[in-house]
Structure 1
């Protein structure tokens, strides 16, 4: 990272809460390996994701680690967020009241932090009022039985998105063509107070991705310890899972992390671009990692279900798409067919469970991911050249 704000120690402590929270999402998929459970886990992950983003953006825009009050707000947020993590499994049991109240508490802290730090800034006031409204909505939803409370959660999250990152910029872009909207996203914000710190945001999201990759390492180790028989399948799954985590790390940090930071820096910290690259852009690959975690975990069971292979295959496909691996190809006539073939090949890794054991599929998926990591490294120079020549065209081609 070059310049900008650094991630603080208190933020790293705050992330420890989410290590446990995201683990509950992955464990819920393992407990019931069905696509319906995956959809429910996706919704739960979304609420945790936007809670985390609220605190990440708070520190990015107005917090100073030298100020005790700012650190206290983050520490105060660990209490309701920690309670939410312990109550996450209750959501799958149709008892979401405790989880909803905890999320309401987390947003009360955010609302107070934004409003006290506003100092006349319209953006901070808008964010503070947005989180206050979300706190009320989540508190009310605690009295509404599942699944009727879930639309209220969606409403709360949607209005947070508008208040936190889009704001006045998005309203100013109404009626513009897609090309004009893209150019506007690369223009520095008129109000410097609305700009985000690119270096801090890149490091913050990079650390969160490491948390998710660490969950893959942890689940491989834990599942291996629970399996008494150390046969060839055991060693294939464990070795494959650990190498897979390293390859996924390479795919993200060798190119994607640096490219995103550079794009945001070139825009002067445009909040709309920050939303596209990080808040929305990282959501699907982050959840995809949890799906891969669940698939690898299940493959280490003595009798792995057939869904284990599909979780790995679909998770890798979504992760590669979010990391724009297939979009990094040169602008040639053959690039699109090759991209489609690569996507199809990744998805179809799931069919290998017809001819290979689940550990065998993990090994093949690992080899495929290593190939993707090599491709990303080879294409890195071309990607950076295209980015330097025309960042708008680069973003349009890889979005």
Structure 2
């Protein structure tokens, strides 16, 4: 599909595909709730990253060559839902130390992606390198299903996917030219990404991840009596927190990312920085927040509940660059660090308040952060204008005297 301005729209089959991934990432969040320890969070992050890059593969595939009216493209996406659904049902076995079926499913997904990129899409679009890359990943995931050190194979597979999928052109930047390369259109037009489609694609997926938090809060209502005032406090706090998280991303960040990518002519390296790699941390942070709120709604919440919630909120604020004002002043950076540190430390409130009250306080703090973010980003959007390069040069010029003063 295409919008009125020539940008591609998210296809209906992509939305259907996302439903499978909602189930998969939900299993990751449930894994953290089942055993609320930081070692489980680390394992969940690795599992989420594996699912994330699988989803990225289909998002980039459809962005570069997809046509919602093409039977072949739709069949490839629908075929991908089968092994992805199998992986979703096996996610909890990965936490238990039995990753074989999950790894085999991931290998199957990558065989489909390899075939999809090998299939001729349109004249001038050569994606054989990507096809061979996914074939190599399929082998690595397949071997990991029967070999020890499973995670090592997965890490190698994901790192090489990150290299070939969006960073197709390599050029060593000269000093001071990094941003110029980010905003230069790719020499090979077939490598360009559609900024409107990618922005909408990631925005919709972030909404679905926020839905995990809403579902967590709503499901708990089925298990608590109507006269439990503490629960209703947590319910209101959880929904307010979800709304604040939505506000932080969708009122300005999504527009800033899309505008910068559009200005670059669909530069793949910038797309990687802003979306594929840049959204990994805030996306996982939403699951960590959902797990924390879920635990807070238990009758006997563990101590990790508050820490999961505040750590997830901190990761989300940092990952979405909420307080990045583009100022060279040292005290601005110090204030940003202090705000993030204060966000984490809200978890200490569980020493004096009950879990529902802690959720409510965190929600109020998130609202204040969202308000501050709105002010900062409104100014950033005004300064960004229609020429992000001029904005970045302005920041660089303002930082240079400060660096000279420090010397």
Alignment TM-score, normalising by the size of structure 1: 0.94
Q: Is the 8 A contact 2:84 2:105 kept in 1?
A: yes
Aligned to 1:91: 94
**Structure 2 CA distance, aligned partners of 1:48 and 1:73?**
17
Contact kept? 2:327, 2:395, Cα under 8 Å: no
Aligned residues: 391
1:288 to 270, 285, 288: 285
Distance 1:10 1:205 in 2: 15
| Conservation of the 8 A alpha-carbon contact between 1:213 and 1:245 | yes
Q: Find the residue that maps to 1:334 and give its secondary structure.
A: helix
| Stretch deviating more after TM superposition (42-51 or 235-244) | 235-244
Change (3 A) 1:306 1:172: same
- Does the alignment pair 1:38 with 2:41? yes
Counterparts of 1:58-207 in structure 2, within 5 Å, are 58-117=61-120, 124-145=127-148, 148-167=149-168, 169=169, 171-173=170-172, 176-177=174-175, 179-207=176-204
- When residues 310 and 182 of structure 1 are mapped into structure 2, their CA distance, relative to the original with a 3 A threshold, is same
User: What SS class does the counterpart of residue 301 from structure 2 fall into?
Assistant: coil
Which residue of structure 2 lines up, in the alignment, with residue 268 of structure 1? 265
Unmatched tracts of structure 2, length 5 or more: 399-407
Match of 1:248 in 2: 245
Q: Which whole-Å deviations, capped at 9, do the CAs of 1:45-80 have from their partners, x for residues lacking one?
A: 000000000000000001111110110000000001
1:99 and 1:355 map into 2 onto residues whose CA distance is 42
Distance in 2, Cα, partners of 1:119 & 1:66:
14
Contact kept in structure 2, 1:284 and 1:319, CA below 8 Å = yes
CA distance in 1, matches of 2:286, 2:296: 15
Q: Deviations over 1:215-238 (max 9, x none)?
A: 100011112322347422201111
Contact kept in structure 2, 1:387 and 1:394, CA below 8 Å: no
Task: Flag the 1:294–1:130 CA change in 2: closer, same or farther, 3 A.
Answer: same
- For residues 29 and 314 of structure 2, what CA distance do their matches in structure 1 show? 18
Compute the displacement of 1:119 (Å): 5.8
Q: Distance in 2 between matches of 1:98 and 1:191?
A: 38
Deviations 1:306-327, CA, capped at 9 Å, x for gaps:
1100011110111000111121
Distance in 2 (alpha carbons) for counterparts of 1:310 and 1:58? 37
Query: Could you give the per-residue CA deviations for residues 173-193 of structure 1, whole angstroms, max 9, x where no partner exists?
Result: 2x633x312210111111111
Q: Which deviates more, 384-393 or 356-365?
A: 384-393
Of 360, 369, 375 in structure 1, the residue corresponding to residue 357 of structure 2 is 360
Q: Of 343, 354, 360, which aligns to 1:346?
A: 343
Map Cα deviations across residues 341-376 of structure 1 (whole Å, 9 max, x no partner). Answer: 211111111111111111111111111111111112
Deviations 1:15-63 (A, max 9, x none): 0001100100000000000000000000000000000000000000011
The alpha-carbon distance between structure 1 residues 333 and 97, as it changes in their structure 2 partners (threshold 3 A), is closer
Q: 1:259 aligns with which of 256, 259, 263?
A: 256
> Is residue 317 from structure 1 mapped to residue 314 from structure 2 by the alignment?
yes
For 2:304, the equivalent position in structure 1 comes to 307
**Residues 329 and 379 of structure 1 are in contact (CA less than 8 Å); yes or no, is this contact kept in structure 2?**
no
The answer to whether the 8 A contact 1:123-1:194 is kept is no
TM-score (norm: length of structure 2): 0.92
Matched ranges for 1:229-248 at <5 A? 230-248=227-245
For structure 1, list consecutive stretches of 5 or more residues without a partner in the other structure.
Answer: none
Change beyond 3 A, Cα 1:205–1:336: same
For 2:381, what is the secondary structure of its paired residue? helix
